[in-house]
Amino acid sequence: MLLKIITGLFCFEQTQVIPIVKAAEKAGASYVDIAAHAPLVQAVKATSNITVCVSGLNFDSMYQSVKAGADMLEIGNYEGLYEAGHFWESETILNLATRLKQRMPERVLTVTIPYILDLEKQMHLVQQLEAVGVDMFQTEGGGRKQSKATILSSIEGATVSLAHAYQLSRLTSKPVICASGITAVTAPMAIAAGASGVGVGKAIRHENAYKVIKQIQCALQQVG
């Protein structure tokens, strides 16, 4: 099962990203997901041997990141855009995926499927993306922010993403990564829902990065 550690689509500061990358490598994570920013990729590759995925919404930044050493690509996630009132259309996602696969077919490409789309539109988008060679899919959550760190709040915060993982895993035979609201509590639930792995970001802070990542890794191993 895959464990991806996410540092943020809009986090370009090396001082914030590199400590989490190092903690992820030490804790045995499968790979890290960082912003598609060539200087950041170069800095991470210079200090770590972990597999690097870059997330972006722009072809040029993703292409330059691969030239800088990125191993994998990901289109997404869109939650930050929703907060600003922007919504990505299926056609826009498909066009970017097609272009990336045409120019860099050897790179594994993951695409986040917008949870705001109804089931029929999600199914159609997944089929179109499979046809252009997309390798993996990812959920997004939109889960509620919780004021207290309890088991119940962890589950509530991941409800949408878990439901999305269940739905996506039945629309495709490709691996599905369950992300958004994932913790050591909800990671096993994601696997039970049909996901092949999880992506974790907001649960991790600099002061507890290694501990939290290791806890999630252990939780996944127990259900593996």
Q: How confident is the model at residue 77 (pLDDT cuts 50, 70, 90)?
A: confident
How far apart, in whole angstroms, are the C-alpha atoms of residue 6 and residue 201?
4
How far apart, in whole angstroms, are the C-alpha atoms of residue 213 and residue 224?
16
Structure confidence at residue 81 (pLDDT): 74
List all residues 6 or more positions away from 2 whose beta carbon is below 8 Å from its beta carbon.
30, 31, 175, 177, 196, 197, 198
Under CATH, to which class is 2-223 assigned?
Answer: alpha beta
pLDDT at 144 > cutoff 70: no
Query: What length is written for the chain?
Result: 224
Q: What is the pLDDT of residues 85-133, one digit of tens each?
A: 778 889 999 999 999 999 999 999 999 999 889 999 999 999 999 999 9
Instruction: List the one residue out of 184, 58, 166 whose CA is nearest residue 122.
Output: 166
- Higher-scoring residue by pLDDT: 8, 198: 198
Among 50-54, 55-59, 154-158, 181-185, which is the least confidently predicted range? 154-158
Q: Where are the domains of the chain?
A: 2-223
